[in-house]
Amino acid sequence: MVGAPGKKKRNKKKITFITLAVLAAIAVLAFIFLNLYINRSIAQVEGEIELPKLRDDVTILTDDNGVPHINANNAHDLYMAQGYVQANSRMFQMEMSRRQASGTLSEVVGEASVEQDKYFRTLGLRRAAEASYDIYSDESKQVLQWFADGVNAYIDEATSSNSLPVEFTLMGAEPEEWTPIDSLTIGKYMAFDLGGHWERQAFNYYALNQFPQEKAYELFPAYPENKPTIIEEEEVDVAASFKDAVIPHAFNGSNNWVVSGDKTSSGMPLLANDPHLGLATPSIWYQMHLTSPDTNVSGVIFAGVPGIILGHNDSIAWGVTNTGPDVQQLYVEKQNPEEPHEFLYDGKWEEADVIDEPIEVKDSETIDYQVVETRHGPVISEFSNESAGGTVMSLRWTALEATTELEAILEINQASDWNEFEQGLEKFLVPAQNFVFAGKDGTIAYKANGNIPIYDKAEDALLPLEGWKKENEWEGYIPFDELPTVINPDKGFIATANNKIVGEEDYPYHISHVWAQPYRYERISEVLSAGESLTADDMKALQMDQTNLQAREFVPFFMEVLEGQDLTAEQNEALKLLSDWDYTDEKHAPQPLIFHRWMNEIEAILYDDELPNEIMELFGGKGQTTDELLRKGDESIWIQENGGLQEVLQTSLNNTLNQLRDEYGSTMDDWQWGAYHQVQFDHPLSEISPFLAFFFNRENPIPVGGSSVTPMAASYDAASGIVNHGASWRFVMDTAEAKSYQLVAPGQAGHFRSEWYHDQMDDWARGAYHVTKTEENDGMKLTLTPNR
């Protein structure tokens, strides 16, 4: 009996050990199972796959950067293979894109996305896609269907083999059948993402209601000579009406330029393009190379759409930036007090269309939602039409009409010169874009292309118009042959950066009141004007250029205003640092941190007390307005009411330095722009929990230079400093070569276990490009075969 207690203890230890061993074994087995389950949804890039409906073998070579080079013997197989490959790599992204644009997220997300779904149902992007499909040619409809067949072949295969991406498991959903309308709806969503200024009209309306006229006009994007007046008969509560509206990012734009062979080392044109859109995982773009007997085109496309929208073929290269014209018009509509679905027009009550849009909600009841469309478009204020006799706002927008962008893309892909390219552009109607072109015949060209409304007076585009007056209708669109066009200019280059295209005195039509701040364009023009014997490497360097011309203008001005003032030692130290600055937003430098945070504080002083948060969301082009107020100085009412320019600058500088000292310490030389300004590329599911963020984001934020006003565009969230908007794709082409230099960040793949998931994040930050050839490619080989 003496040894029993020790034996018991040993037995207990043994049991504990066995239990732990069993639990460890279970954990290992679970880990292995989980890995096997997750890994089997990684896109297959080698071997052979049977694809129903395929007519002949298709070869897909995936290069070291995850770019698929698809070689098919006919158009049917080419686009079917494109659909299959996109789905194999980006199915979850494609599913979320079509749901967001169609207003069906609530079916898989639940009540959290109901208001967003209501907004997109109200806009009617999917209804516009359906109307567009009806006017497509039979040939284009075939391409859409072939592409959809490829997507559906992947969906059927992955569903039956239980190898859908893990995101579907987490959402408790499966993808529905893909249709041609889904592809067109995603195209319409891109028109939405590139905006059209209705929110600025709503903001201007609010400002005129809220402030004295002269004070309100200072916030307008263009000070009107013939000052528009507020609608006196009716008033809409803007803050309440648009509180749930989804507003695209204010900095949606891009850089592009093309250089004549007279200024290049190769003697052939150079072209560069970097579209600025949201930065997230996966990338908004998918890079591909498509070849068949009549096609050899390389570049990028939105996941879920056939063809190549930006890139080059054997003969030409092209790129785009957002023109940003006034293509959206708000109308104030008078409701009939007796019949809430009737609205006044030209002295008579007109019945609006009432469209049933039931919204299915996961784990909840279906919402019986209705959309009301007047002659101008959907009623978007408050997303509710229950009250009779009121005043509402409707939206007319070119993207809600039937348009044919996919046909344009397919024609552009096979164009061989400027004439054929321009013919294709005639079918590219929304969104209006600045196209630059380079041909191997030496031609460089530009066209501001798309449906741009004709206004009777430019001032009409600044405010909502009275919908009951016939004279407020658009007068058609600028004729295609009269859109701004430049071919082979004497200066040897053409560049755009969402800047003002042409002066009113030089062009008979109004295009826009809201333009990007001019600094990106001015810097690009500065470099290209001085350049000779330019190379592709020079184009890459310009895309990564971090020169801040806003700071070059305002820092000396600020110092002049503050000269002789009673400043603290800390303020003098900051101004001394700024005076020694080369105006480069370099990540290791303290000056860009001080300057940009100072500009943020200036805006806080000017606007925060007078403009509610929901109204600030509508204040598109705010930076442009702030610059103008600062240039006016003490003549500006907004600056006068805050104590004058000297007081605004000194108080905002003091606030800035107090914040930075708290965040980064008291030694100013140790402050760094990149300590605040960092890029992340978040996955949409990473916000749900830190656990998912660990898997889907994986990388720590990367310190980066640049800003929203430098050619290396890197716009950021002011609260966190996280860069969430910038060059979503970088592209450089020397037309003397059969290759291009591209970058798709954070990577090609949508699967977090893929080697191409985040492999281009560091490349994005440091400006490294990969080469994509259109001839003699090699890589991992996958063969798609018909059913034998």
Alpha carbons 137 and 74: distance in angstroms, whole number: 19
- In the chain, the amino acid numbered 1 is M
Residue 93: CB partners within 8 Å, gap ≥ 6?
282, 303, 304, 750
Q: Name the one residue in this structure whose structure tokens are 């939206």.
A: 395
In three-state secondary structure terms, 107 is helix
Alpha carbons 441 and 199: distance in angstroms, whole number: 43
Number of H helices, E strands in the chain: 25, 28
Tokens of 705: 């230079």
Tokens of 623: 């930076």
CB atoms within 10 A of CB 371: 22
Alpha carbons 186 and 283: distance in angstroms, whole number: 15
Task: Please indicate whether residue 254 is annotated as part of the active site.
Answer: yes
Alpha carbons 648 and 677: distance in angstroms, whole number: 25
Tokens of 624: 């442009």
The dihedral sign for the CA sequence 208, 214, 220, 226: positive
Which candidate in 183, 254, 394, 728 is catalytic? Answer: 254
Alpha carbons 465 and 236: distance in angstroms, whole number: 12
CA distances from residue 631 to 254, 626, 639 in whole angstroms, order as listed: 26, 9, 11
DSSP code at position 496: E
CA distances from residue 236 to 117, 590, 617 in whole angstroms, order as listed: 23, 46, 17
Of 258, 269, 266, residue with least CA distance to 442: 269
333 Cα distance to chain centroid: 31
Residue 336 · residue 748 · CB < 8 Å:
no
CA distances from residue 37 to 24, 92, 161, 750 in whole angstroms, order as listed: 19, 16, 11, 16
Residue 214 · residue 229 · CB < 8 Å:
no
On the CB side of 778, how many CA atoms lie within 13 Å of its CA?
0
In three-state secondary structure terms, 345 is strand
Of 195, 181, 179, residue with least CA distance to 128: 181
Alpha carbons 681 and 679: distance in angstroms, whole number: 6
The dihedral sign for the CA sequence 706, 709, 712, 714: positive
Of 26, 241, 51, residue with least CA distance to 154: 51
759 is in an annotated binding site: no
DSSP code at position 175: P
Kindly give the pairing relationship between strand 68-71 and strand 285-292.
Answer: parallel
Burial letters 263-293, b for 16+ CB under 10 A, else e: bbbeebbbbbbbbbbbbbbbbbbbbbbbbbe
Helices assigned H by DSSP within 194-223: 198-210, 213-217
How far apart, in Å, do the first and last CA atoms of the chain sit?
78
Alpha carbons 452 and 437: distance in angstroms, whole number: 21
Beta strands in 479-605 (DSSP E): 485-487, 493-496
Tokens of 102: 């169609």
Q: Name the one residue in this structure whose structure tokens are 């930050």.
A: 765
497 Cα distance to chain centroid: 15
Instruction: Cite the active site residues.
Output: 254
- Residues forming the annotated binding site for Ca(2+)? 326
- Residues forming the annotated binding site? 326
